[in-house]
Amino acid sequence: MGMSQGYGPADDDASLATLHRALELGVTLLDTAQSYGAGHNERLLSRLLATRRDEITLATKFGIVRDADGTRLDAHPDRVAGYCDASLRRLGVDTIDLYYLHRPDPAVPVEDTIGAMAALVTAGKVRHLGISEPSPAQLAAAAAVHPIAAVQSEWSLWWRELEDEVVPTARRLGIGVVPYSPLGSGILAGVTSAAPFRDRDPRYAGADRERNLALLGEVQAIAAERGVSSGQLALAWLLAQGDDVVPIPGTRNADRLAENAAAADIVLTAVELDRLETAVPRGAWAGDRNSFAAHGATRTG
């Protein structure tokens, strides 16, 4: 997403170089959405897919629409096929490996949307279905209509609400978990500079920001003892939550990409996991993410 919106101006050629570097490092899953830059992100990825499609598991999403009229949710079943066809054209591919409902549309029963998505699987345009930011009930309802391969929601050391009900529901149904913002929009990697996406998040404001920066110091101290970066420690913590967890850290920077990818080789001990739990327990982080995410169309993992 950051290659198209949310974190200031981006350079397409630099972004493309970072994407090529990702494949060289063994990254195989690339995640985009029709809403990222109002189609720009999918068109950017098409330049990579044109020559390296076979190396990529391609995920994209629909349901958040950005256009001249603003940003809105739309998951009406009559328009699902059209959104998919538009993504296929922008991406320059015949098939999407993993197609997500980006957000459940409160105006449409999730079962109706998933039913329309299932027709895309039958038509051969999509291989697997996913859903982003559902409630546990919506996730179960979706899975009752068609197999759901993945649920994507925010999950990291600094936001762990997903553990209460969504993760147990996903595991009961055999659905993989794809945490977006696994580095807390950068804070867990020590990146706290101003950016449009961060500036709208109350966790980056005022006293909450200061509290969270203090906790970041605890994470950094533990990381330094292990000889890794705080971002790598945060990603390794997520990977330690289960083999069904596949975090998707975003970056525009090739060096940061290499750092993130190397986190896959870090195996935390039970002692280290316990120490993290003590140093930065889930209730210690400050700020109401839900007030930010409640707007749905503005919080887009």
Residue numbers annotated as active site: 36
* DSSP string computed for 188-208: GGT-----HHHHT-GGGSHHH
Angle between helices 77-91 and 40-52 (to 10 degrees): 50
Cα separation of 19 and 30, whole Å?
9
Q: What is the CA radius of gyration of the chain?
A: 19
Cα separation of 165 and 173, whole Å?
12
Kindly state the tokens that stand for 199.
């500036």
Per-position b or e across 200-221, b if 16+ CB within 10 A of its CB: ebebbeeebbeebeebbebbbe
Kindly state the tokens that stand for 94.
């015949």
Kindly state the tokens that stand for 274.
């316990």
Kindly state the tokens that stand for 252.
């525009």
**Per-residue DSSP letter, 52:** H
What amino acid occupies position 258? Answer: A
Q: Is 72 within 8 Å of 63 (Cβ atoms)?
A: no
Question: Which residue matches tokens 């299932």?
Answer: 118
